[in-house]
Chain A
């Protein structure tokens, strides 16, 4: 219970950073999806059912507050994303860290591919254009942040033990 409240508070903090300091964390017109990073890291420690609700609710909050192109797309993809992340964590938990990290990075990349492909579907941009100009830059920024936080949490956990 205490763990869940703490996770919820962290998510609220992450959402507030995303809302109020979005323009400050932007690099070359690319902004990281902090909620997605938080979900991916939480998939390692938080209960799956609680996490899937977090994915849906905070995805929806992001859509309402961040002026995303399609309202409902973030909760939809984040719900599926959390489901896949939880399943992959269950499957690859016994494997070395690097395997799990690679799988999670692949999921992160797929999220951006699907998100941008769907949100840009109606203007019929070529798939390569969507990948090169939208998905890869967003994945790189969010991916680097994810790796940094992933090892930070790992280091913190090891020190605590």
Chain B
């Protein structure tokens, strides 16, 4: 009997090893939400940072010249806009004082470089080169000038893991301007997002701006998320299904800003 089992095992050892490895993989797959998973990622991230950082810096340096030209053009446009905004800010401050509003707290911005963007096209997490030593904390917000990128989900000594808006588990309370309609926004593949359950009595049209609502403890208000590109009535006839495009091009970003209160 024992010999039979031994012979069978020996004859089919390749299949048996395959099955064993498949079972182990399934077990690892089921442990994805375990905190140890992120800890191992961060530990390995810290380990590769000294080599990866100069490689990424060199790549960024090459693209910096092109970016510089583009930024100069943007700067000219922004200067023109700023002149208009100065007047608006003055008017805003005056009205706030009249209404006795508290002055909004300022945010500190820490620049960070993306060390790793993942292997697949469906990127949902990134590794940045700032960690505990830079005072980065869990739930710090990551932005670029175009809008929100994500939030810090785990921090190690020199690196942090950022969950992007393009993660299946990423939900954010959003506000649509100018209607002020609020809803929960989540990713819908590629560079698209979706917002459901907005009453169709509210006027919303293509091109409307979507920003953070400020209802959450994590996300401050008025950070740009994207624009509405499709307004559809839901099957129940009372609400909208809104599809939109995220402002940030997640494949092109190489540097981000950590927003700290």
Instruction: Identify the A interface with B (CB < 8 A).
Output: 18-24, 29-31, 33, 48-49, 52-53, 55-56, 59-60, 62, 64-73, 75-76, 79-80, 82-83, 86, 115-116, 119-120, 122-123, 125, 129, 133-134, 137-138
Question: Are B122 and A22 neighbours in the complex by a CB distance under 8 Å?
Answer: no
Whether A52 lies near B21 (C-beta < 8 A) is: yes
Check if A20 sits within 8 Å of B52, measured CB to CB: yes
Residues of chain A lying within 8 A (CB to CB) of residue B29: 70-73, 76
Beyond A20-B52, A21-B55, is A67–B125 a contact (Cβ under 8 Å)? yes
B contact residues, range? 35 or more
Question: Is A71's CB under 8 angstroms from B37's CB?
Answer: yes
- Interface of A (DSSP majority class): helix
Q: Which residue on chain B has the smallest CB distance to residue A78? A: B25
CB distance from A54 to the nearest CB of B (A): 11
7 tightest Cβ-Cβ pairs between the two chains A and B: A72-B29, A72-B28, A76-B25, A67-B118, A66-B119, A29-B251, A125-B189
Residues 188 to 237 of chain B near chain A (Cβ within 8 Å): 188-190
Once A48-B14, A49-B13, A67-B41 are accepted as A-B contacts, the answer to whether A31 and B32 lie under 8 Å apart by CB is no
B5 lies within 8 A of chain A by Cβ? no
Choose from B24, B30, B37, B122 the contact partner of A56 (Cβ within 8 Å): B24
Q: A29-B121, A69-B118, A120-B122 are in contact. List 6 more A-B contacts (CB 8 A).
A: A56-B25, A67-B117, A67-B127, A71-B32, A76-B22, A116-B122
Residues of B within 8 A of A24 (CB): 59
Provide the bound-state CA to CA distance between A102 and B29, in Å: 31
Check if A72 sits within 8 Å of B31, measured CB to CB.
yes
Q: Could you tell me if B21 and A31 are in contact, using CB atoms closer than 8 angstroms? A: no
Chain A residue nearest to B249 (CB atoms) is: A29
Q: Once the chains are docked, how many angstroms separate the CA of A69 from the CA of B126?
A: 11
A72-B168 in contact (CB<8A): no
Partner of A86 from B14, B32, B120 at Cβ < 8 Å: B14
Residue B110 is within 8 A (CB to CB) of chain A in the complex: no
CA distance A55 to B17 in the complex (A): 12
A137–B30 alpha-carbon span in the complex (Å): 28
Whether A65 lies near B44 (C-beta < 8 A) is yes
Across the interface, do A68 and B31 meet the contact criterion of CB distance under 8 Å?
no
Restricting to B80-129, which residues have a CB under 8 Å from any CB of A? 116-127
Task: Give Cα A55 to B31, complex, Å.
Answer: 20
Q: Are B121 and A72 in contact (CB under 8 A)?
A: no
B1 on interface, CB distance cutoff 8 Å: no
- Contact yes or no, B55 A20, CB < 8 A: yes
Give the residues in chain A near B177, CB-CB below 8 Å. Answer: none
B52–A19 contact, CB under 8 A?
yes
Query: Which residues in A have their C-beta under 8 angstroms from that of B41?
Result: 64-65, 67, 71
A65 to B31, CA, bound (A): 17
Tell me the nearest residue of chain A to B118, going by C-beta. Answer: A67
Residue on B nearest A59 in the bound complex, by CB: B25
Whole-angstrom distance between the Cβ of A40 and the nearest chain B Cβ: 16
Q: List 22 A-B contacts (CB under 8 A).
A: A20-B55, A22-B117, A29-B121, A31-B121, A52-B18, A56-B21, A56-B25, A66-B118, A67-B119, A67-B126, A68-B118, A71-B28, A72-B25, A72-B26, A73-B25, A75-B21, A75-B28, A76-B29, A79-B21, A79-B22, A115-B120, A120-B122
CB-CB nearest in chain A for B116: A67
* Chain A CB within 8 A of B40 CB: yes
Contacts of A138 in B (CB 8 A): 120-121
Assess the B119–A120 pair: CB atoms within 8 A: no
**Residues 25-79 of B at the A interface (beta carbon under 8 Å):** 25-32, 37, 40-41, 44, 48, 51-52, 55-56, 59
